[in-house]
Amino acid sequence: MPSVRSLAAAALVAGFAGAPLHAQSSAGRCSPLDTTAKWYAKQRQWTDDSKHAWSNDSLRTALIHAAGLDADPNAGAGALLGYEIVGTTPDAPQGDAAAAIASLRTLAQNRGSTWPTKSVVGAQGVRAVWLLASRDSALARVALHRMMEAGPEESPPAAVAILEDRLRIANGRKQLYATQLVRSADGRLEPAPVEDAKHVDLRRDAAGLPPLAQAICAAAKR
Amino acid sequence: MTSRRIPNAIVLIALTLVTNVGSAQMHPIRVDVARDRVGAEPSTFIPMVGNWVVADEEGKEVVMVDGREWKRGQPAGGLADKARAIYGAKHEEFIDNVKAFAYFPIAVAKGIDDFQNGEISVRFMMVGGTLDRCAGILFNVKPNGDYLTVRFNGTEDNVVLWTFNEGKRSFVKRAPENFPLELGTWHELKIAVHGTQLTAFLDGKSVLDFTLKEPVSGKIGLWSKTDSMTEFTDFTVTPAVK
């Protein structure tokens, strides 16, 4: 069963305002990151925590710490370009991460519980949950369900899309958003099998992800 | 990718006058968008909730519910005028209930004011949707906004009958079998109504039977859910002799 390598990095985080956008602008044939594009604006709007409009600050802090986002102030603050490279086993969660994953799994089993969505832990807290879910397939399944249930105001569609693709590929199904890339025999990165490939960019647009060609180009430059 | 084409806004409701003498079936009515402008709202369906447009799918005009701009609780533009057009003085109650159901995009078929008995079929193709991937037949639409729907949900792989009454959605019955349908492939959803007997079909196979509390009587159309992106075509109504 394929798994995903170094998700925090592989999903490629290109910084929002103030952070360098060199991931593509210096990348030769890759078109520059268009910060006026709708997908970018959509993600930027979603990740805006400036109003501090979350209800559970202690949970947010704990999740951010468990996911390691507090170690780097810029980590998790950028746009998801919508790719992950499938292939190797992620690091086994330990310490605070393992404890947080166990707590989230327990929380998910309690039907009436409040899931840490944006109004509860803010955008950064949701990103932390998403990163933790990338390290535990059981948590990933319940997190995807909870995120879809919560709706686009509470769960970032881009992250939901990546998570759904990851689980589909892990379960031997075709992906929907072409976010899971594999290396071909000649070393090129290409999407793992995609369902209804004809409409893939329409789905990526709906999820707030850049066109597939842009994501593959950026992935190849890493 | 769905492309857009040059305007040509002409309404076409193709009435195929096929009279089967001695049969219980009457004239099949095909609600078509073949002459509509791609990118515009369909002229043969009235969008009440959600963003419904005419799309070009490999050279054929189809109706598409485009959930990319879906927002919770937001009815379609011009709802008051549209509701007034189909329900006249009673439209305000309709609007109140439609707003309560704004989670579910609906488009009412023009020119079919009271479907009671017979069959309604539509071909659908799920294209996307991060939260939902749904396609449904809307029927028994009342002036107060109550309605019934039989829908396929591609995130759950099932067919379910739902009822919407006075601002509340209620589950009625789920088809016992699951149907994992691939995106980008065409399928047919059909209902057959005879008095209070309802049967739903998926790709020609009977998947759900239910006895309704009272006979069906009302407008009909298309149904969807939240951010679904689904294309519809060949919406056909075949009324039955009472």
* Local structure of B185: helix, strand or coil: coil
- How far apart CA B224 and CA B230 sit, in angstroms, is 8
- How far apart CA B137 and CA B128 sit, in angstroms, is 18
CA distance B128 to chain A (A): 5
Cβ proximity of B126 and A195 under 8 Å? no
Q: Convert the pLDDT of each residue in B138-188 to its tens digit.
A: 999 999 889 999 999 998 999 999 999 887 889 999 999 999 999 999 999
- How far apart CA A5 and CA A121 sit, in angstroms, is 26
Tell me, yes or no, if B59 comes closer than 8 A to chain A by beta carbon: no
* Residue-by-residue DSSP string for chain B: --B--------EEEE-----TTSSB---EEEE-TTSPTTSPPSSEEEEES-EEEEEETTEEEEEEEGGG--TT-BPTTHHHHHHHHHGGGHHHHHHHHHHTTTS-EEEETT---B-SEEEEEEEEEEE-SS--EEEEEEEE-TTS-EEEEEEETTTTEEEEEEEETTEEEEEEE-SS---PPTT-EEEEEEEEETTEEEEEETTEEEEEEE-SS---BEEEEE--TT-EEEEEEEEEEEB--
DSSP A186: T
* Local structure of B210: helix, strand or coil: strand
Tell me, yes or no, if A97 comes closer than 8 A to chain B by beta carbon: no
Two tokens, residue A157 = 């569609």
In A, which residues are within 8 Å of B183 by CB distance?
176, 195-196, 199
Cβ proximity of B232 and B135 under 8 Å? yes
Tell me, yes or no, if B72 comes closer than 8 A to chain A by beta carbon: yes
How much is the pLDDT for B84? 77
In A, which residues are within 8 Å of B181 by CB distance?
none
- Cβ-defined contact of A176 to B67 (cutoff 8 Å): no
Measured in Å, how far apart are chain A's first and last C-alpha atoms?
A: 24
Tens digit of each residue's pLDDT, chain A (222 residues): 334 333 433 344 455 543 333 333 344 567 777 889 989 998 988 888 998 999 999 999 999 999 998 887 666 667 888 888 887 666 778 889 999 999 999 998 887 889 999 999 999 999 999 999 988 989 999 999 999 888 888 999 999 999 999 999 999 999 999 999 999 999 899 999 999 999 999 999 999 999 999 999 888 887
Q: Convert the pLDDT of each residue in B60-90 to its tens digit.
A: 999 999 998 776 666 677 777 777 777 777 7
How much is the pLDDT for B91? 74
Beta bridge partners of residue B165, listed in sequence order? B168
Q: Convert the pLDDT of each residue in B4-58 to its tens digit.
A: 443 433 334 443 333 333 346 678 999 999 999 999 999 999 999 889 999 999 9
Two tokens, residue A200 = 């893939």
How much is the pLDDT for B46? 94
Two tokens, residue B91 = 């439209």
pTM of the model: 0.82
Return the CA Rg of chain B: 17
Residue B241 CA neighbour count, 13 Å, CB half = 8
Beta bridge partners of residue B211, listed in sequence order? B197
Give the residue among A146, A203, A170, A140 at the shortest CA–CA distance from B183: A203
Two tokens, residue B205 = 């196979």
Which residue of chain B comes nearest to A200, CA vs CA? B1
- How far apart CA A28 and CA A220 sit, in angstroms, is 11
Q: Please state the length of chain A.
A: 222
Tell me, yes or no, if A206 comes closer than 8 A to chain B by beta carbon: yes
User: Which residues does A22 contact at the CB level (< 8 Å), separation at least 6?
Assistant: none
In 3-state terms, chain A is what percent helix, strand and coil (to 5)?
A: 50, 10, 45
DSSP B37: P
Across the interface, which of B72, B130, B155 has its CB nearest the CB of A207? B130
H or E stretch covering A131 = helix A118-133
User: Which A residues 3-42 touch B at CB under 8 Å?
Assistant: none
- How far apart CA B102 and CA B207 sit, in angstroms, is 28
Give the residue among A146, A203, A194, A157 at the shortest CA–CA distance from A173: A194
Measured in Å, how far apart are chain B's first and last C-alpha atoms?
A: 44
- How far apart CA A189 and CA A187 sit, in angstroms, is 7
User: Which B residues 97-126 touch A at CB under 8 Å?
Assistant: none
